[in-house]
Amino acid sequence: MSTEHLLLAAPTPAALVELLDRPGVELRASRPTSAPGPRLGLLDPTDERLALARKVVAKGREWRARKDIWFSPAPLLPGGAGIAFLYPGLEAEFDPSVDDVADWLGVPRPDLSTDTLGRHGASVVAVGRLLDAALRRLGITPAAVAGHSVGEWTAMICGGLFSGADFDAMLTRTDLDALRVPGVEFAVLGCPADRAAEAVDGVAGVVVSHENSTNQTVVCGPAEAIAGVVEDLRARSVICQVMPFRSGFHTPMLAPYLAPFRESGVPSLRVHPAHVPVWSATTARPFPADPGATRELCVRHLLEPVRFRDLVLDLHAEGIRAFVQAGPGQLGSLVDDTLREHDHLTVAANAARSTGMRQLRRTALALWVEGAAPDFAALDQAPTRIESAQRPAAQTSTGTAATSAGTAALATSTIPASATTTTTPASASATPASATTTTTAASATPAAAPASTGTPASAASAALPTAPGAGFAAPGGRSAPAAAPPVPAVAGVSALADLRALADRYPAFAELDALVRETADSITAVLAAAHSTAAPRSTAPHAAAPTAHPAAAVPEPVLETSLTVSTRDMPYLLDHCFAHQRPGWTDETDRRPVMPATTVLWHMVRAAEAAAPGRVVTGVEGLRLHQWLVAAPAHTLTITVRPMGTDRLQVRVGQYADALVLLGDEYAPGPLPWEPAPDERPPALTAARLYDERWLFHGPAYQGITRTVGMSETSARAELTAPAAPGALLDNAGQLIGQWLVECHPRRWIAFPVSVRRIRFHAPEPVAGSTVDCALRLVSVDDREATVDLRLSAGGRTVVDIEGWVDHRFDSDPDISAVHRFPETSTLSRRHDGGWWRADERWASLASREFYLRKYLGAAERAEYERCPPRERREWLLGRIVLKDAVRGRLWDTGFGPLFPAEVEIATGADGGLVARGRQGLELPALDLAVATCRELGVAVVADPGTRPVVAVVEVTGDPATAEAAALARAGRGTATTEIVGSPPGLPDRRYAVAHTARPNPREQQ
């Protein structure tokens, strides 16, 4: 028994009130009416719900969806016009409910996996196309279609601009996994676009990528910069969320990665006249009629911001009043936020909280109440029986995931409305299903659904592509004419089922049935071999009928292995610690042992080799390093290997890194080693000095540079001796980048890898102890990052070739550099002539702050830092740094030797004041402490016990005398000394009033 609903209409609100006065039993038995005037729709019209409906109608105001009741005193859609379909893009949560919708349409259930960006995109597009077909089967047809981000490609296909087959063919030739910018993140900001633009103004690399609605904007940029923007806005009460996927789409940052897509991908698309206006969120206007302009807009779509707010406003201005979200998610809320002052309806055709069919009924009710005429009878038709086996989803060589068979072909065949009528066109169209016109799907093999990291990526190629407007031959031998207006539909399997039924009665059809099935199997096998396979989404046992035909190209299983990361299991990591500490220091968390990026890569390669016995790893592409993999405390992570075809494996190391690993039967010959640069000079630093003077922090297990050979402004060469530690040889290659930065860019020489675009292995890994030549060539360098190519050779033959190694650079002025290298004798703070200490915050980004707090704070202090509210952490850390430096300076004045910051713990004493304590056996004399912070300045005073020093700092915003008075008031001691100081170069130009009771250092006065 289908879900019941009630439809009531009357010429006037009073007439509708009178109609509702009838008993519930009588109302539930009434036939629907379609009189002009107010309309009421109820899902499950219980007596309780009817009682509420009577109150709603009596008040005469619209009521939408609450308690599953819809009422419109003046429907928005007279004649059913003014409906737009909106197709969602990628969102943080994706949990559609469409299995029952697929069953109803008679197609296999789609793959809904989201474990890679490509699979996520494929799933989003597949759901959009499936729901588009379902809505049209209900007789709900749009006056316009549009999409958000990846959803715009769904709109293009469903609107008829491209055939599904042409689109899939383009994707098989385009490596969409390469179309993403490494190291960038998206953040959703709960504020208007102008405020977001102001917040990112001056933040290097961060741009507005989406103007979603009046009060929601998305920005994109380097991960650490995005984290800083988010923290700053949260401190100003702006709701922010960093998205769980990365791509760089809809920003100019993607431009360097677009060449294949621009040059050979988009030009291959045959552009057809849209059968419904397809609107672009790039221009907030319909796609142009000129094919060349359409293709160019496809490229602009990837490089320019998404103007979804403008799109919605312009659609409304063009007469659209109902916005149907063809997928789950929050797209409707963006429309509501934008149109809050305008009459409109938003309704989601799918929602995680409901079954798919029940939500379709809600959608139909909402639209009927506003004046549309959906075909409710179609909802009550039995699901179309699937006679043939569901094949595994195919996948292209791009490595992006496919949708399940059939679902991807939504734009190339017709909608199955019953199990008895036969076929019509296999174009991108069919007559909308209604009470008088029913159609079934023509037989088709899987076509592809687009997907990607914010734009389409391939799924399975169409075995029998057809151009829009073409028709399949029906079993009776006549070509079914294309219907008008054309609408996209779902590819089904009922025609093959009909053919099998005829084969049972007529021998000739039995031969035809065998031939068709043999041909289909052959095509599927060829396509699977030509592209690649992806694991199909697991479905319930009833999702597909059993078959005697073996499925083609069954994908390899996902391989998961556990890796314990600890200094006990990997003792060599004790020679890769970010924070120097006193010899014999027992708390390993204070030393910060970190697995090198190249050791992470080494484990990826080993996992890939284990997943493909007998094959060799020939390369790695798109290595992305998301966060440091720390070895203390010990922990266990999962390495996941997912086949992406016969020669490609997607490897993910927990949440820390991911890459595409390439396989082969043997190593390919490598390019010739590079010749020395003509302007090469002898390096200033020898290999021994690199390590002895701690320009490189690495211990013996990673000290592989044995001779520095040459240096220029764009190149460097060194001789390496391959270490035994896993991944250490390539880490040595990365160390050469460090030396080049030290000698050529000393103001920001501290750097760590964040991504590598491409690695090719041309020989087995050199054995430990062997000599390897390493050469570096600069690709680009700016204040934020350095990008280089590296080439390693042995015996005159290239063994490893690396392109696009990207290091993120940190501030490294002389004070910061000294603390990084020799924290036991260096400070980030400076003693002022007046005897007090000052620290100026030169580590504004989160990444820099994280880097330096590890050098200053011990375990207990780091825990206290984490407990601080985010908006207070910056000044809390600034205060601890200046206090520790002041304490160490005081102790050095009395003859103390080297003293690491972590040896001094600043804690809260019994009286609530701050005290300095020694750690791990260090005895400190009693001292009185005082500290104050304001913006980027921290000040501190350390004095003998019992003297109770004071210090205060106030920003000067007007009269300096007023600021000095405020500082004295804060200090609480009229005898304090006041001084006006300014900010150092590189920080915001500010002046501060400092009040203190410090005394000049006698030694410095001598």
Q: Running DSSP on this structure, what letter comes out for residue 409?
A: G
Q: How far apart are CA 710 and CA 676, in angstroms?
A: 8
Q: How many CA atoms lie within 13 A of 475 on its CB side?
A: 23
pLDDT value at position 479?
Answer: 32
**Cα separation values, 132 from 125, 429, 775, 783, Å:** 10, 12, 55, 47
The least confident of 41-55, 228-242, 444-458 is 444-458
325-358: pLDDT as tens digits: 998 888 998 999 999 889 899 999 998 888 999 9
Pair of tokens at residue 880: 């601890």
- What's the pLDDT tens digit per position in 532-546? 333 333 333 333 333
Average pLDDT, the chain: 80
Looking at residue 171, its pLDDT comes to: 61
Does the structure show a pLDDT above 90 at 871?
A: no
**88-97, 185-194, 514-523, 674-683: lowest mean pLDDT where?**
514-523
Exposure letters 703-732 (e unless 16+ CB within 10 A, then b)? bbbeebbbbbebbbbbebbbbebbbbbbbb
Among 648, 137, 232, which Cα is nearest to 424's? 137
pLDDT of residue 21: 81
**Pairwise CA distance, residues 531 & 871, whole Å:** 50
Question: What is the pLDDT at residue 825?
Answer: 95
* Residue predicted with more confidence, 472 or 834: 834
Among the residue ranges 170-184, 386-400, 642-656, the one predicted with the least confidence is 386-400
Is the link from the previous residue into 73 a cis peptide, with omega within 30 of 0? no
Q: Is the dihedral of CA 245, 248, 249, 250 positive or negative?
A: positive
Q: Which of residues 760 and 249 earns the better pLDDT score?
A: 760
Global pTM? 0.54
Does the pLDDT of residue 142 top 70, yes or no?
yes
The residue-averaged pLDDT of 430-443 equals 29
Residue 769 has pLDDT above 80, yes or no: yes
Q: What are the structure tokens assigned to 860, written together?
A: 């207990």
Helix ranges (H only) for 304-375 are 308-317, 331-338, 356-369
- Which residue carries 């055939």 as its tokens? 163
Give pLDDT, residue 32.
Answer: 66
Mean pLDDT across the stretch 758-777?
97
Residue 520's pLDDT is 44
Question: How many beta carbons lie within 10 A of that of residue 48, not counting itself?
Answer: 11
Whether 630 and 592 have beta carbons less than 8 Å apart is answered as: yes
User: Which of 3-12, 66-75, 382-391, 557-566 shows the lowest mean pLDDT across its residues?
Assistant: 382-391
Residue 502: the pLDDT is 45
The pair of three-digit structure tokens given for residue 788, joined into one six-digit string:
């280089």
Cβ 205 vs Cβ 251: under 8 Å: no
Q: What is the spatial order of strands in the sheet that 240-242 belongs to?
A: 207-213, 216-222, 184-189, 240-242
In tens, the pLDDT along 242-301 reads 887 678 888 888 887 777 677 767 777 788 899 999 999 999 999 999 888 988 898 888
Measure the CA–CA gap between 313 and 978, rounded to whole angstroms.
57
Q: Write phi, then psi, for 364 (nearest 5 degrees).
A: -65, -40
pLDDT > 70 in the chain, percent: 78
Q: According to the model, what pLDDT value does residue 781 have?
A: 93
pLDDT in tens, 953-965: 999 999 999 999 9
Note the pLDDT tens digit of each residue in 478-523. Answer: 233 333 333 333 333 344 444 444 444 444 444 444 444 444 443 4
Q: Specify whether the CB–CB gap between 702 and 681 falls below 8 A.
A: no
pLDDT tens by residue, 10-57:
888 888 888 888 887 777 777 666 667 899 889 988 888 888 988 988
1001 confidence band (pLDDT: 50, 70, 90): low
Q: How far apart are CA 405 and CA 107, in angstroms?
A: 8
State the pLDDT at residue 513.
45
Chain segment 788-813, per-residue pLDDT in tens: 999 999 999 999 999 999 998 887 77
**From CA 493, how far away is CA 687, in angstroms rounded?**
69
CA torsion sign for 350, 351, 355, 359 is negative
Between residues 407 and 358, which one has the greater pLDDT? 358
- The answer to whether residue 470 scores a pLDDT higher than 70 is no
Residue 183 has a pLDDT of 79
Residue 237 has pLDDT above 90, yes or no: no
Q: What is the pLDDT of residue 18?
A: 82
The per-residue pLDDT for 557 is: 62
- Predicted pLDDT at 169: 65
Sort strands 751-761 and 797-809 into parallel, antiparallel or unpaired.
antiparallel
Element (H, E) at 775: strand 771-781
Of the CA atoms within 13 Å of residue 578, those in its CB half-sphere come to 24
Residue 986 phi/psi, 5-degree rounding, is 100, -15
| Rounded Cα–Cα distance for residues 135 and 350 (Å) | 11
| Residue pair 187/210 in contact by the 8 Å Cβ criterion | no
Mean pLDDT over residues 948-975, rounded? Answer: 91
171 phi and psi, to 5 degrees? -70, -30
What pLDDT shows up at residue 683?
95
**In the structure encoding, which two tokens stand for residue 46, read together?**
């219980």
Q: Of the given ranges (3-7, 243-247, 555-559, 958-962), which has the lowest mean pLDDT?
A: 555-559
What residue ranges define each of the domains in the chain, with the CATH number in brackets?
5-74 (no CATH), 95-181+247-346+377-539+549-554 (3.40.366.10), 184-246 (3.30.70.250), 559-664 (3.10.129.10), 687-809 (3.10.129.10), 827-1005 (3.90.470.20)
Query: What are residue 980's phi and psi, to 5 degrees?
Result: -105, 125
Percentage of the chain beyond pLDDT 90 is 50
Q: How many CB atoms lie within 10 A of CB 23?
A: 10
Q: Torsion over CA of 576, 582, 588 and 591, rounded to 10 degrees? A: -40
Question: What residues contact 688, with CB distance under 8 A and at least 6 apart?
Answer: none
> Which residues face 658 on adjacent strands?
624, 652
User: What's the pLDDT score for residue 638?
Assistant: 94
